Chains A and B, each alone.
Chain A
Amino acid sequence: MATTAGERESSLWVILLTFAVAMLFSVVSLPEFIPWQLGYLRPQWVELVLIYWIMALPHRVGIFSAWVLGLFVDVLTGSLLGQHGVAFIIVAYIASSLYQRLRMFAVWQQSLIIFVTIGISQLVNFWVENFVGLSQWDMRFLLSALVSAMLWPWVFLVLRHLRRLFNVS
Protein backbone atom coordinates (compact mmCIF):
# COMPACT_ATOMS: atom_id res chain seq x y z
CA MET A 1 0.00 0.00 0.00
CA ALA A 2 1.48 3.34 -1.01
CA THR A 3 1.68 6.08 1.56
CA THR A 4 1.25 9.72 0.66
CA ALA A 5 3.88 12.33 1.35
CA GLY A 6 1.68 13.85 4.06
CA GLU A 7 1.45 10.58 5.97
CA ARG A 8 5.20 10.11 5.76
CA GLU A 9 5.76 13.55 7.16
CA SER A 10 3.42 12.99 10.08
CA SER A 11 5.06 9.65 10.84
CA LEU A 12 8.47 11.33 10.86
CA TRP A 13 7.36 13.11 14.01
CA VAL A 14 6.81 9.79 15.75
CA ILE A 15 10.39 8.75 14.97
CA LEU A 16 11.83 12.09 16.06
CA LEU A 17 9.75 12.06 19.23
CA THR A 18 10.96 8.60 20.24
CA PHE A 19 14.56 9.76 19.78
CA ALA A 20 13.85 12.87 21.85
CA VAL A 21 12.37 10.75 24.65
CA ALA A 22 15.36 8.39 24.48
CA MET A 23 17.74 11.37 24.83
CA LEU A 24 15.66 12.56 27.76
CA PHE A 25 15.99 9.19 29.49
CA SER A 26 19.72 9.19 28.89
CA VAL A 27 20.30 12.46 30.78
CA VAL A 28 17.47 12.48 33.33
CA SER A 29 19.11 12.93 36.72
CA LEU A 30 18.75 10.23 39.33
CA PRO A 31 17.18 11.14 42.67
CA GLU A 32 19.69 11.87 45.41
CA PHE A 33 18.98 8.74 47.46
CA ILE A 34 20.22 6.47 44.66
CA PRO A 35 23.98 5.84 45.00
CA TRP A 36 25.99 7.32 42.13
CA GLN A 37 27.54 3.95 41.29
CA LEU A 38 24.19 2.85 39.86
CA GLY A 39 24.85 5.38 37.09
CA TYR A 40 26.95 2.69 35.44
CA LEU A 41 23.77 0.69 34.87
CA ARG A 42 22.14 3.40 32.78
CA PRO A 43 21.13 1.77 29.48
CA GLN A 44 21.96 3.29 26.09
CA TRP A 45 18.41 4.39 25.30
CA VAL A 46 19.21 6.26 22.11
CA GLU A 47 21.07 3.28 20.64
CA LEU A 48 18.20 0.93 21.48
CA VAL A 49 15.68 3.18 19.73
CA LEU A 50 18.09 3.61 16.81
CA ILE A 51 18.45 -0.15 16.38
CA TYR A 52 14.69 -0.59 16.47
CA TRP A 53 13.99 1.97 13.74
CA ILE A 54 16.80 0.66 11.53
CA MET A 55 15.42 -2.84 11.91
CA ALA A 56 11.83 -1.80 11.26
CA LEU A 57 12.35 0.92 8.64
CA PRO A 58 15.82 0.51 7.09
CA HIS A 59 14.79 2.69 4.15
CA ARG A 60 14.08 5.67 6.42
CA VAL A 61 16.62 5.50 9.26
CA GLY A 62 20.17 4.72 8.27
CA ILE A 63 23.80 5.51 8.90
CA PHE A 64 23.51 9.21 8.14
CA SER A 65 20.60 9.71 10.56
CA ALA A 66 22.59 7.78 13.14
CA TRP A 67 25.55 10.12 12.68
CA VAL A 68 23.45 13.28 13.06
CA LEU A 69 21.84 11.78 16.15
CA GLY A 70 25.31 11.02 17.50
CA LEU A 71 26.33 14.67 17.16
CA PHE A 72 23.31 15.75 19.20
CA VAL A 73 24.12 13.18 21.88
CA ASP A 74 27.72 14.50 21.93
CA VAL A 75 26.45 17.99 22.62
CA LEU A 76 23.99 16.69 25.20
CA THR A 77 26.61 14.79 27.17
CA GLY A 78 29.47 17.20 26.58
CA SER A 79 31.68 14.62 24.90
CA LEU A 80 33.98 15.35 21.96
CA LEU A 81 32.03 16.30 18.83
CA GLY A 82 31.96 13.13 16.72
CA GLN A 83 32.58 10.63 19.49
CA HIS A 84 29.03 9.33 19.67
CA GLY A 85 28.88 9.96 15.92
CA VAL A 86 31.40 7.16 15.33
CA ALA A 87 29.79 4.89 17.94
CA PHE A 88 26.35 5.34 16.37
CA ILE A 89 27.69 4.77 12.85
CA ILE A 90 29.01 1.40 13.99
CA VAL A 91 25.71 0.49 15.64
CA ALA A 92 23.81 1.60 12.54
CA TYR A 93 26.16 -0.32 10.26
CA ILE A 94 25.73 -3.55 12.21
CA ALA A 95 21.97 -3.11 12.50
CA SER A 96 21.43 -2.21 8.85
CA SER A 97 23.50 -5.11 7.57
CA LEU A 98 21.77 -7.57 9.91
CA TYR A 99 18.20 -6.25 9.87
CA GLN A 100 16.76 -9.08 7.76
CA ARG A 101 18.22 -11.68 10.07
CA LEU A 102 17.31 -9.69 13.20
CA ARG A 103 13.67 -9.70 12.14
CA MET A 104 13.66 -13.50 12.01
CA PHE A 105 15.31 -13.95 15.42
CA ALA A 106 13.48 -14.51 18.68
CA VAL A 107 13.59 -11.51 20.99
CA TRP A 108 16.21 -13.07 23.29
CA GLN A 109 18.46 -13.71 20.29
CA GLN A 110 18.04 -10.08 19.29
CA SER A 111 19.04 -9.16 22.84
CA LEU A 112 22.30 -11.07 22.45
CA ILE A 113 23.14 -9.25 19.21
CA ILE A 114 22.28 -5.98 20.90
CA PHE A 115 24.56 -6.74 23.82
CA VAL A 116 27.46 -7.24 21.42
CA THR A 117 26.58 -4.21 19.27
CA ILE A 118 26.17 -1.79 22.17
CA GLY A 119 29.23 -3.32 23.81
CA ILE A 120 31.29 -2.45 20.72
CA SER A 121 29.95 1.09 20.62
CA GLN A 122 30.68 1.52 24.34
CA LEU A 123 34.20 0.29 23.68
CA VAL A 124 34.64 2.90 20.94
CA ASN A 125 33.38 5.62 23.29
CA PHE A 126 35.75 4.38 25.92
CA TRP A 127 38.72 4.32 23.51
CA VAL A 128 38.13 7.91 22.53
CA GLU A 129 37.84 9.04 26.15
CA ASN A 130 40.88 7.03 27.12
CA PHE A 131 42.84 8.48 24.21
CA VAL A 132 42.23 12.05 25.34
CA GLY A 133 42.86 11.04 28.95
CA LEU A 134 39.34 11.37 30.33
CA SER A 135 38.88 7.91 31.79
CA GLN A 136 40.80 4.90 32.94
CA TRP A 137 40.30 1.23 32.11
CA ASP A 138 37.17 0.07 33.83
CA MET A 139 35.12 -2.97 32.86
CA ARG A 140 32.01 -1.38 34.28
CA PHE A 141 31.19 0.25 30.94
CA LEU A 142 29.98 -3.17 29.77
CA LEU A 143 27.27 -3.15 32.45
CA SER A 144 25.43 -0.54 30.46
CA ALA A 145 25.43 -2.83 27.38
CA LEU A 146 24.11 -5.67 29.54
CA VAL A 147 21.25 -3.60 30.97
CA SER A 148 20.45 -2.32 27.47
CA ALA A 149 20.21 -5.89 26.18
CA MET A 150 17.95 -6.86 29.06
CA LEU A 151 15.66 -3.91 28.39
CA TRP A 152 15.48 -4.57 24.65
CA PRO A 153 12.33 -6.81 24.70
CA TRP A 154 10.32 -4.02 26.37
CA VAL A 155 11.72 -1.26 24.18
CA PHE A 156 10.92 -3.45 21.18
CA LEU A 157 7.31 -4.04 22.29
CA VAL A 158 6.64 -0.38 23.08
CA LEU A 159 8.13 0.89 19.83
CA ARG A 160 6.35 -1.75 17.75
CA HIS A 161 3.09 -0.75 19.39
CA LEU A 162 3.79 2.92 18.61
CA ARG A 163 4.74 2.09 15.02
CA ARG A 164 1.49 0.21 14.46
CA LEU A 165 -0.60 2.77 16.28
CA PHE A 166 0.64 5.67 14.17
CA ASN A 167 1.08 3.55 11.07
CA VAL A 168 4.71 4.61 10.61
CA SER A 169 6.21 3.18 7.48
Chain B
Amino acid sequence: MIGLTLLSIALMVVDHLSDLLDEVRSGLTVVVTPVYIVADYPNRAADLAQQMFTSRDGLQEQVISLEEQLLLMKVKTEKMSALTAENNRLRDLLGSAAKLQDNVLVAELVGVDPDPNKHEVVIDKGTQHDVFVGQPVLDAEGLMGQVIEVSPLTSRVLLISDQSHSVPVQVVRSNLRLIAQGTGVTRQLDLMHVQGTADIKQGDLLVSSGLGNRFPVGYPVGIVTQFKHNPSEPFAKATANPSAMLDRSRYVLLVFTEASLREPVIGAEG
Protein backbone atom coordinates (compact mmCIF):
# COMPACT_ATOMS: atom_id res chain seq x y z
CA MET B 1 0.00 0.00 0.00
CA ILE B 2 2.78 2.42 0.93
CA GLY B 3 4.57 1.48 -2.30
CA LEU B 4 1.52 2.18 -4.46
CA THR B 5 0.90 5.46 -2.66
CA LEU B 6 4.48 6.58 -3.24
CA LEU B 7 4.20 5.48 -6.87
CA SER B 8 1.01 7.52 -7.25
CA ILE B 9 2.66 10.57 -5.72
CA ALA B 10 5.61 10.13 -8.08
CA LEU B 11 3.19 9.83 -11.01
CA MET B 12 1.38 12.99 -9.96
CA VAL B 13 4.63 14.94 -9.67
CA VAL B 14 5.85 13.74 -13.07
CA ASP B 15 2.43 14.40 -14.65
CA HIS B 16 2.27 17.88 -13.19
CA LEU B 17 5.80 18.96 -14.05
CA SER B 18 6.43 17.27 -17.39
CA ASP B 19 4.66 15.80 -20.39
CA LEU B 20 6.37 12.39 -20.15
CA LEU B 21 3.11 10.68 -19.21
CA ASP B 22 1.02 12.18 -22.00
CA GLU B 23 1.48 9.08 -24.15
CA VAL B 24 0.32 6.82 -21.30
CA ARG B 25 -2.66 9.03 -20.64
CA SER B 26 -3.59 9.15 -24.29
CA GLY B 27 -3.43 5.34 -24.45
CA LEU B 28 -5.61 4.91 -21.38
CA THR B 29 -8.06 7.48 -22.73
CA VAL B 30 -8.71 5.26 -25.74
CA VAL B 31 -9.81 2.54 -23.29
CA VAL B 32 -12.29 4.82 -21.52
CA THR B 33 -13.58 6.54 -24.68
CA PRO B 34 -16.61 4.19 -24.89
CA VAL B 35 -17.62 5.42 -21.43
CA TYR B 36 -17.90 8.98 -22.77
CA ILE B 37 -19.83 7.85 -25.79
CA VAL B 38 -22.33 5.81 -23.78
CA ALA B 39 -22.59 8.52 -21.11
CA ASP B 40 -23.64 10.95 -23.83
CA TYR B 41 -26.59 8.79 -24.95
CA PRO B 42 -29.22 10.42 -22.70
CA ASN B 43 -28.52 13.75 -24.39
CA ARG B 44 -28.54 12.18 -27.82
CA ALA B 45 -31.78 10.35 -27.06
CA ALA B 46 -33.40 13.59 -25.91
CA ASP B 47 -32.35 15.29 -29.17
CA LEU B 48 -33.61 12.34 -31.18
CA ALA B 49 -36.93 12.23 -29.36
CA GLN B 50 -37.37 15.93 -29.97
CA GLN B 51 -36.69 15.45 -33.67
CA MET B 52 -39.07 12.50 -33.92
CA PHE B 53 -41.98 14.22 -32.24
CA THR B 54 -41.74 17.50 -34.10
CA SER B 55 -44.82 17.96 -36.27
CA ARG B 56 -44.74 18.43 -40.01
CA ASP B 57 -45.91 22.02 -39.69
CA GLY B 58 -43.25 22.72 -37.11
CA LEU B 59 -40.59 21.34 -39.43
CA GLN B 60 -41.86 23.37 -42.36
CA GLU B 61 -41.77 26.52 -40.27
CA GLN B 62 -38.27 25.64 -39.16
CA VAL B 63 -37.13 25.12 -42.76
CA ILE B 64 -38.56 28.44 -43.82
CA SER B 65 -36.94 30.34 -40.97
CA LEU B 66 -33.63 28.55 -41.55
CA GLU B 67 -33.75 29.44 -45.24
CA GLU B 68 -34.32 33.06 -44.34
CA GLN B 69 -31.39 32.95 -41.97
CA LEU B 70 -29.23 31.30 -44.62
CA LEU B 71 -30.03 34.07 -47.06
CA LEU B 72 -29.12 36.72 -44.51
CA MET B 73 -25.90 34.91 -43.65
CA LYS B 74 -25.00 34.60 -47.34
CA VAL B 75 -25.38 38.33 -47.82
CA LYS B 76 -23.22 38.94 -44.77
CA THR B 77 -20.60 36.45 -45.92
CA GLU B 78 -20.41 38.08 -49.34
CA LYS B 79 -19.81 41.41 -47.70
CA MET B 80 -17.28 39.79 -45.38
CA SER B 81 -15.36 38.10 -48.16
CA ALA B 82 -15.05 41.41 -49.99
CA LEU B 83 -13.81 43.00 -46.77
CA THR B 84 -11.41 40.13 -46.10
CA ALA B 85 -9.97 40.41 -49.58
CA GLU B 86 -9.56 44.13 -49.16
CA ASN B 87 -8.01 43.67 -45.75
CA ASN B 88 -5.55 41.10 -47.04
CA ARG B 89 -4.62 43.36 -49.95
CA LEU B 90 -3.94 46.21 -47.56
CA ARG B 91 -1.92 43.94 -45.30
CA ASP B 92 0.05 42.75 -48.31
CA LEU B 93 0.79 46.38 -49.11
CA LEU B 94 1.97 46.87 -45.54
CA GLY B 95 4.06 43.71 -45.74
CA SER B 96 2.28 42.30 -42.71
CA ALA B 97 2.00 38.55 -42.31
CA ALA B 98 -1.27 38.35 -40.40
CA LYS B 99 -4.18 37.32 -42.59
CA LEU B 100 -7.74 36.61 -41.67
CA GLN B 101 -7.93 33.12 -43.11
CA ASP B 102 -8.30 30.20 -40.78
CA ASN B 103 -9.32 26.64 -41.48
CA VAL B 104 -11.78 25.04 -39.13
CA LEU B 105 -12.89 21.55 -38.24
CA VAL B 106 -16.29 20.90 -36.70
CA ALA B 107 -16.34 18.73 -33.57
CA GLU B 108 -19.16 17.51 -31.36
CA LEU B 109 -19.24 17.61 -27.59
CA VAL B 110 -19.27 14.14 -26.05
CA GLY B 111 -18.73 14.91 -22.38
CA VAL B 112 -18.65 17.58 -19.72
CA ASP B 113 -16.34 17.37 -16.71
CA PRO B 114 -18.43 16.19 -13.74
CA ASP B 115 -16.51 18.41 -11.31
CA PRO B 116 -18.34 21.77 -11.14
CA ASN B 117 -15.06 23.49 -10.19
CA LYS B 118 -13.51 22.56 -13.52
CA HIS B 119 -14.85 23.96 -16.74
CA GLU B 120 -13.70 21.32 -19.18
CA VAL B 121 -15.45 19.49 -21.97
CA VAL B 122 -14.54 16.48 -24.10
CA ILE B 123 -14.95 16.61 -27.89
CA ASP B 124 -15.04 13.80 -30.44
CA LYS B 125 -11.94 14.77 -32.46
CA GLY B 126 -8.39 13.80 -31.56
CA THR B 127 -4.88 13.38 -32.91
CA GLN B 128 -6.29 11.32 -35.80
CA HIS B 129 -7.90 14.53 -37.00
CA ASP B 130 -4.70 16.52 -36.35
CA VAL B 131 -6.00 18.21 -33.22
CA PHE B 132 -3.12 19.53 -31.13
CA VAL B 133 -2.63 20.82 -27.59
CA GLY B 134 -3.19 24.56 -27.40
CA GLN B 135 -5.56 24.63 -30.37
CA PRO B 136 -8.22 27.37 -30.09
CA VAL B 137 -11.85 26.27 -29.94
CA LEU B 138 -14.80 28.41 -31.04
CA ASP B 139 -18.53 28.09 -31.27
CA ALA B 140 -20.92 30.00 -33.52
CA GLU B 141 -20.96 33.00 -31.16
CA GLY B 142 -17.36 33.38 -30.06
CA LEU B 143 -14.25 31.99 -28.43
CA MET B 144 -14.85 28.95 -26.22
CA GLY B 145 -11.45 27.78 -25.01
CA GLN B 146 -8.41 25.73 -25.95
CA VAL B 147 -7.42 22.09 -26.25
CA ILE B 148 -5.40 20.94 -23.24
CA GLU B 149 -5.18 17.19 -23.78
CA VAL B 150 -5.34 15.02 -26.87
CA SER B 151 -5.87 11.31 -27.45
CA PRO B 152 -6.38 9.52 -30.78
CA LEU B 153 -10.18 9.90 -30.86
CA THR B 154 -11.10 12.54 -28.30
CA SER B 155 -9.64 15.66 -26.78
CA ARG B 156 -10.26 17.75 -23.70
CA VAL B 157 -11.01 21.47 -23.95
CA LEU B 158 -10.48 24.01 -21.19
CA LEU B 159 -13.20 26.67 -21.37
CA ILE B 160 -12.41 30.37 -21.01
CA SER B 161 -14.63 30.49 -17.90
CA ASP B 162 -12.36 28.10 -15.94
CA GLN B 163 -10.60 29.67 -12.98
CA SER B 164 -7.18 28.76 -14.37
CA HIS B 165 -7.78 30.25 -17.82
CA SER B 166 -6.99 33.72 -19.18
CA VAL B 167 -7.41 35.20 -22.65
CA PRO B 168 -5.68 38.31 -24.00
CA VAL B 169 -8.45 40.54 -25.31
CA GLN B 170 -8.95 43.92 -26.88
CA VAL B 171 -11.84 46.36 -26.59
CA VAL B 172 -13.12 46.89 -30.15
CA ARG B 173 -14.22 50.50 -29.58
CA SER B 174 -11.03 51.82 -27.99
CA ASN B 175 -8.40 49.17 -28.92
CA LEU B 176 -7.58 48.89 -25.22
CA ARG B 177 -5.70 45.64 -24.47
CA LEU B 178 -6.73 43.62 -21.42
CA ILE B 179 -6.63 40.14 -19.94
CA ALA B 180 -9.93 38.34 -19.39
CA GLN B 181 -9.72 35.72 -16.68
CA GLY B 182 -12.21 32.94 -16.00
CA THR B 183 -13.97 33.01 -12.64
CA GLY B 184 -15.39 29.49 -12.36
CA VAL B 185 -18.83 30.95 -13.08
CA THR B 186 -20.02 30.15 -16.60
CA ARG B 187 -21.46 33.53 -17.46
CA GLN B 188 -18.70 35.74 -16.05
CA LEU B 189 -15.15 36.73 -16.96
CA ASP B 190 -13.07 39.11 -14.87
CA LEU B 191 -10.98 41.77 -16.58
CA MET B 192 -7.62 42.03 -14.84
CA HIS B 193 -5.72 45.19 -13.90
CA VAL B 194 -8.07 47.74 -15.47
CA GLN B 195 -7.06 51.34 -14.80
CA GLY B 196 -9.72 53.49 -13.20
CA THR B 197 -9.46 55.89 -16.13
CA ALA B 198 -9.51 53.20 -18.80
CA ASP B 199 -11.70 53.85 -21.84
CA ILE B 200 -14.14 51.03 -21.33
CA LYS B 201 -17.86 50.95 -20.63
CA GLN B 202 -20.75 48.62 -20.29
CA GLY B 203 -21.74 46.96 -23.56
CA ASP B 204 -18.25 47.13 -25.14
CA LEU B 205 -17.35 44.14 -27.29
CA LEU B 206 -14.13 42.31 -26.42
CA VAL B 207 -12.31 40.38 -29.13
CA SER B 208 -9.24 38.18 -28.89
CA SER B 209 -6.15 40.32 -29.38
CA GLY B 210 -3.86 37.58 -30.64
CA LEU B 211 -1.16 38.48 -28.16
CA GLY B 212 0.47 35.41 -26.69
CA ASN B 213 0.19 33.63 -30.06
CA ARG B 214 -2.36 31.19 -28.73
CA PHE B 215 -5.68 32.52 -29.99
CA PRO B 216 -6.25 34.00 -33.46
CA VAL B 217 -6.99 37.72 -33.71
CA GLY B 218 -10.48 39.15 -33.84
CA TYR B 219 -12.85 36.50 -32.55
CA PRO B 220 -15.51 37.76 -30.11
CA VAL B 221 -14.77 36.85 -26.49
CA GLY B 222 -17.41 38.73 -24.50
CA ILE B 223 -19.45 41.83 -23.78
CA VAL B 224 -18.51 44.10 -20.86
CA THR B 225 -21.28 43.89 -18.26
CA GLN B 226 -19.89 46.03 -15.48
CA PHE B 227 -17.19 48.67 -14.99
CA LYS B 228 -16.83 50.21 -11.57
CA HIS B 229 -13.95 52.08 -10.00
CA ASN B 230 -13.67 52.44 -6.25
CA PRO B 231 -11.00 55.17 -5.74
CA SER B 232 -9.64 53.39 -2.66
CA GLU B 233 -8.59 50.44 -4.79
CA PRO B 234 -5.69 50.39 -7.25
CA PHE B 235 -7.68 48.90 -10.13
CA ALA B 236 -11.24 49.14 -11.35
CA LYS B 237 -13.55 46.14 -11.23
CA ALA B 238 -14.67 45.10 -14.69
CA THR B 239 -16.51 41.96 -15.70
CA ALA B 240 -17.67 40.56 -19.02
CA ASN B 241 -20.23 38.05 -20.21
CA PRO B 242 -18.72 35.45 -22.59
CA SER B 243 -20.12 35.59 -26.13
CA ALA B 244 -19.79 31.84 -26.67
CA MET B 245 -22.59 29.66 -25.34
CA LEU B 246 -20.17 27.89 -23.02
CA ASP B 247 -22.73 25.60 -21.41
CA ARG B 248 -25.07 25.22 -24.40
CA SER B 249 -23.10 24.60 -27.58
CA ARG B 250 -22.98 20.98 -28.73
CA TYR B 251 -21.02 21.72 -31.88
CA VAL B 252 -17.71 23.51 -31.69
CA LEU B 253 -15.11 24.64 -34.22
CA LEU B 254 -11.45 23.75 -33.95
CA VAL B 255 -9.34 26.44 -35.59
CA PHE B 256 -6.22 25.73 -37.61
CA THR B 257 -4.56 29.12 -37.87
CA GLU B 258 -1.87 29.83 -40.40
CA ALA B 259 0.41 30.49 -37.46
CA SER B 260 -0.01 26.89 -36.32
CA LEU B 261 1.76 25.87 -39.56
CA ARG B 262 -0.26 22.72 -40.13
CA GLU B 263 -1.72 21.17 -43.23
CA PRO B 264 -5.42 22.00 -43.44
CA VAL B 265 -7.58 18.92 -42.87
CA ILE B 266 -11.11 19.75 -43.89
CA GLY B 267 -10.94 23.17 -45.41
CA ALA B 268 -13.62 25.72 -44.78
CA GLU B 269 -12.78 29.35 -44.78
CA GLY B 270 -13.99 31.20 -41.76
Contacts and interface: CB of A to CB of B under 8 A. Distances in A.
Contacts of B10: 82
Contacts of B46: 31
B31 A72 contact: yes
A105 B123 CA distance: 44
A1 interface: no
Interface string B181-224: 00000100000000000000000000000000000000000000
Contact of B12 (A23, A28, A128): A128
Contacts of A138: 117
A134 B21 contact: no
Nearest to B43: A29
A24 B40 CA distance: 9
7 contacts: A23-B35, A71-B28, A77-B113, A78-B156, A80-B15, A82-B7, A86-B12
B11 A28 contact: no
A3 interface: no
Given A29-B111, A78-B120, A82-B9, A36 B24 contact: no
B166 to A, nearest CB: 13
Contacts of A32: 247-248
Chain A interface, >50% SS class: helix
Interface residues of A, number: 41
Interface string A63-82: 11001001110011110111
A28 B164 contact: no
Interface in B104-144: 111-118, 120
A4 interface: no
A149 B169 CA distance: 45
Nearest to B156: A78
Interface stretch (A10-18, A37-45, A107-115, A153-161): A37-45
A105 to B, nearest CB: 23
B118 A134 contact: yes
B89 interface: no
